[in-house]
Amino acid sequence: MRPPAIVNGSYQAPYPAKGNLQPIGFSFHRSSSVGQPPVQTLELSNPLYDEQTLMKRTQSDGHLLAKATDHDRFDNWDDAPIKPAKSGSYLNGVSSQLPPSPRKLNLFHKKSISNTNVNQFSAPSPPIKQSNSAGSHKKPHNFLQRGASQKKPPPAPPAKPPSKMLDVPKNPAQALQFALQKISSEEWTDKVDGINLIQQLSETSPQTVVSDLHTVSTALNTECKNLRSSVSRQALTCYGQLCLNLKTKMDPEIEKACQVLMAKSGDVSSAFIREDAFQSLEHMVDHTSNCKVVPALIASGASSKTITIRSGCGQLLARLVENIGATKALNQKEVCDKIIPQSLVFVQDTQPSVRYYGKYILQLLNQDAANFDRNCKRLLSDGQMRTVKDVLTTIKNKGLGDAPANGAAPSANPTPLSNTLVRNGSVKRNAAPLRKLADSVQLDLDEIYADLSSGNWETRLTGLDRYKEMCAHNIKAVASDTRLVEAFIARLNDINGKVAAQAMETHQRTLPLMGQQFSSEAGLKAVMDQMIKALMAHLPSKNDELRYLGQSSIDATMTHIDHSCLIAPFATATKTANIKQKPFMLSMLSRLSQSVYKTKPKQVEVNTLPVLWDLMKTQSGDNAVKAALSDFSKSLARTMGKKTLLESSTGSLNSTQKADLDAIIS
């Protein structure tokens, strides 16, 4: 029922009275206002309803609202005075026939509208009907809203309640089985909960985990390969915690764990996954048995085709020698017999970062010179011994050489490797750590990847728009997700012409931002070949628009990306190009050679000369290819020198082919 209102000093009944009712102590009469609907009012005539009773009635929430509604003439309740005026009336300028209320019960004080008072309502009261007898029109009051806003609303419940770990059995063995059941669930959140529980058990009850270590390790190996990055990263981190907590008790599972972790340390899809995997490998090197971890590292990473994995393997072996010292490393036969020959292999690697760690390991082992020399004679041939001595002499005279990217060279007295060296493509250990992506950002990246990989061409177009927007707002997040960049590159050569055209336009618009990332990020350098080949595929297109976009996209790529990063992908693509693609690609490769040769002549020779030899051996009858070959040969002769070019061809071309080359460049 609606609370009574106050009209001209009288209480207004909530509804018109029916019949001629005459309650005791009250008298009913109708309003005499002309043109207004009759309103029943009641007046106090019983002495029992004195001022004290009136004040008691005023204390009710409904009556409070009625009075506030009738007298609230402020657009903002904060403008109301907090104490009665001298005239005894609360609101200045508002006439009222009610007697002034006692100060101690003045319910119109702002502070009386408290959180407690308002919250006593179980539901919002219905709006109070205003009397029209006065002929005035008042704005609807927002008294309840203002009062309620003084107290913060309760937090909204999450869309999906978090998993409750309260149901975990108190018995450690039962808790381990519970965790394994969680990991085998189809829900990724359950998998994460199970992996977290295993981490906790390895710290609080390590013997329980050791008793079923093979099952735990098998489950983690599977989840490390999970396509959802949240699960994969949690499993990788869990391996590191197991090594940290269980130490040498992890030895039986080191070999399989090292295979998974080493493979993930070279993952091209995410820099965060590489970082998590490598940190777990560091825990493995620091806390497990040397005789177990050295063979496992060499078997899983030393001969990998991925540069990052080989470089990381060298760094981890150097870290181990640092930890245990040269003398102990040389005295442990299982370590010495593996690490000395492998260091020599690293020294002869084609990649500078791998050679760097090989030389550093030899420098560390040579600190115990007599022991090192004795073991080298036992393990190496005479030719290998000479190589080792030459390397050590070079280190003594010139130092270790250039440190890997983002790394720092050790001093003459080596300091802990964990503070100075990093694997290729990582950040320095003493630098600020990689910032984790926010969950919302990672979710956006996953959604964009799904759109770009969709089977619906319209959805792929939407994915391209979202990719461009993400590049504009968070370029670092895009560059960290190589999987997303690969999905975008696949759209450059999409089977649908509309998608391919928009992808190339998006590529040109995002290159000013992405160019620096392609030039510096190791993960993005690995996908450069795919990008050049995808753009090159449009060069022989019969569609003029696609052919023009392909050429302009290649030209824009050369404008915004470091040429030293492009020369190898362009050379590889030119080798596989067809007759219609070769002329344009040879002209681009000539430009790159002229640009890079001044600073990196060896890189130009290694990448461009094999292309020239192939063209000279299999000369095409196409006039455009012949003209392009002539221009390319003359460009290399001007860049390298005619004599150098002819001398370089001695071992690759026969006398007839060499004579043809001489005739072209003369």
Domain CATH code at residue 179: 1.25.10.10
From residue 444, alpha-carbon distances to 191, 438, 481 in Å are 22, 10, 11
| Residue 510 counted as domain residue | yes
Task: Say whether both 657 and 585 belong to one domain.
Answer: yes
User: Can you give the pLDDT at residue 55?
Assistant: 53
Task: Say whether both 44 and 86 belong to one domain.
Answer: yes
Q: Which of 430, 462, 495 is at the close of a domain?
A: 430
User: What is the number of structural domains in the chain?
Assistant: 5
Task: Say whether both 624 and 520 belong to one domain.
Answer: no
Task: Say whether both 485 and 399 belong to one domain.
Answer: no
Phi/psi of residue 5, nearest 5 degrees: -105, 170
From residue 127, alpha-carbon distances to 70, 150, 417 in Å are 12, 21, 74
Task: Say whether both 205 and 282 belong to one domain.
Answer: yes
Task: Say whether both 446 and 418 belong to one domain.
Answer: no
From residue 339, alpha-carbon distances to 153, 251, 255, 388 in Å are 64, 19, 17, 13
Task: Say whether both 403 and 448 belong to one domain.
Answer: no
| Residue 610 counted as domain residue | yes
* Paired residues of 30 in beta bridges: 40
Q: Which of 430, 449, 482 is at the close of a domain?
A: 430
Cα(470)–Cα(478) distance, rounded to whole angstroms?
7
| Residue 31 counted as domain residue | yes
Mean pLDDT by 10 residues, the chain (666 residues): 49 47 46 47 46 51 47 50 48 45 43 40 42 41 40 41 53 89 90 91 90 93 90 92 91 92 86 90 93 93 88 93 90 91 89 89 90 90 88 85 52 37 36 58 89 91 92 88 89 92 93 86 79 91 91 92 89 88 92 90 87 86 88 90 86 85 86
Side by side, the strands of the sheet bearing 10-12 are 5-7, 10-12, 40-44, 26-30
Cα(663)–Cα(654) distance, rounded to whole angstroms?
14
| Residue 160 counted as domain residue | no
Burial of residue 172 (number of CB atoms within 10 Å: 0-12, 13-18, 19+) = middle
Task: Say whether both 426 and 447 belong to one domain.
Answer: no
Residue 53 and residue 43 in contact, taking contact as beta carbons nearer than 8 Å: no
- Per 3-state DSSP, the chain is made up of helix, strand and coil in percentages (nearest 5) of 65, 5, 35
| Residue 165 counted as domain residue | no
Task: Say whether both 472 and 540 belong to one domain.
Answer: yes
Phi/psi of residue 39, nearest 5 degrees: -125, 130
Task: Say whether both 581 and 552 belong to one domain.
Answer: no
Among the listed residues 351, 366, 485, the one whose alpha carbon sits nearest the alpha carbon of residue 424:
351
- The type of residue at 17 is A
| Residue 568 counted as domain residue | no
| Residue 320 counted as domain residue | yes
What is the extent of the structural domain holding 662? Answer: 575-666
Cα(533)–Cα(522) distance, rounded to whole angstroms?
19
Task: Say whether both 126 and 14 belong to one domain.
Answer: yes
How many other CB atoms are found less than 10 A from the CB of residue 317?
29
Q: What residues contact 384, with CB distance under 8 A and at least 6 apart?
A: 344, 376
